[in-house]
Amino acid sequence: MLNGDLAGAWSLNAWTTCLGIVLGVCVLAWIVEAMGGPRLRPPLWVGPVTQNRVYRWLGVTGLIFMVVRNLV
């Protein structure tokens, strides 16, 4: 993925590729805000993003990915 081969990264581990892209977008939003740009926040329907919600989301999506990957 660091070499720009997203198709190869996707074929090796799709969940980690998605996680890396989401992390990259979050870092980019943080840099924009740190440089004086607008504050980027999730929509209200998402609710507050707490540490426990992030851990639960990572655990559930990781578990679903493992099950689906092993079934396919």
Regarding whether 29 and 49 lie in a shared domain, the answer is no
Provide the pLDDT for residue 36: 92
Specify the 3-state DSSP secondary structure of 63: helix
Structural domain of 61: 44-72
Distance CA 25, CA 31 (A): 10
Show the beta-strand stretches assigned E in the chain. none
Secondary-structure percent of the chain, ordered helix, strand, coil, rounded to 5? 70, 0, 30
Regarding whether 5 and 35 lie in a shared domain, the answer is yes
Regarding whether 51 and 33 lie in a shared domain, the answer is no
Regarding whether 52 and 30 lie in a shared domain, the answer is no
Residue 2 has pLDDT above 80, yes or no: no
Place of tokens 């609710």: 47
Regarding whether 18 and 49 lie in a shared domain, the answer is no
Regarding whether 53 and 36 lie in a shared domain, the answer is no
Q: What share of the chain has pLDDT > 90, as a percent?
A: 18
Question: Are the C-beta atoms of residues 9 and 17 closer than 8 Å to each other?
Answer: yes
Domain count, the chain: 2
Mean pLDDT in residue range 35-49: 85
Residue 65, token pair as written in the block:
């990915």
| pTM > 0.85 | no
